[in-house]
Structure 1
């Protein structure tokens, strides 16, 4: 009869489409030049308590994007060593496009994402 002030817990919904969009949102950098960390971070933070598996996928994406930033910083001084940094930037660019697509496909199938060489910043 009375309202006790507690919010009713809503069950988490399964939304593979949103997980796919979250993975593909990393590619926004190809269109506007930035946002590969910002957009997935916002999606993860706003949906992690509402969508089943969003927390795990979001953490993997953020860890991957932060790892790419660290690797890019490492590549800058490597440019002086026979241009190895330029090769590193090329490899990172390819990896930064391929793995979000692969993991978006995995997410659509309900599989767990896997981003290689990612540091575990957020666990």
Structure 2
């Protein structure tokens, strides 16, 4: 149980690789989720939420690009997405360590 929670925390925090290295925030959680999803129902649910969140960030960033031309709203969108992409993996890692379910805002349901 403790090892499972540690893996959940690592999976949530691995999203921060994008901030640190520029990539890996989708790939690393995807690899962890695909390799361990059959071993734990909880990891399967958390993994789906993480992958949906990461894919949603990509889609939202693509939406922000043309919005830059519209009174600079895209720049505000990028700022909000940047804060959300750093803050919520940390918050949800803490929640996962306490056994709570993650909640990611601005997330579309690609994988259910």
Query: TM-score normalized by structure 1?
Result: 0.87
CA RMSD of aligned residues (A): 1.5
The structure whose residues are more often helix, as a share, is 2
1:74 counterpart (50, 56, 63)? 63
Query: TM-score normalized by structure 2?
Result: 0.95
2:43 matched to 1:57?
no
Whole-angstrom CA distance in 2 between matches of 1:16 and 1:110:
7
Structure whose alpha-carbon radius of gyration is higher: 1
Structure 2 unaligned residues grouped into runs of 5+: none
Structure 1 unaligned residues grouped into runs of 5+: 1-11
**SS in structure 1 opposite 2:25?**
coil
1:115 matched to which residue of 2? Answer: 104
Whole-angstrom CA distance in 2 between matches of 1:42 and 1:105:
21
Change (3 A) 1:38 1:26: same
**SS in structure 2 opposite 1:115?**
coil
The alignment covers a number of residue pairs equal to: 112
Whole-angstrom CA distance in 1 between matches of 2:24 and 2:107:
18
Q: Cα deviation per residue 1:64-101 (whole Å; 9 max; x = unaligned)?
A: 00011110000000000111101100100000000000
2:10 matched to which residue of 1? Answer: 21
**SS in structure 2 opposite 1:15?**
helix
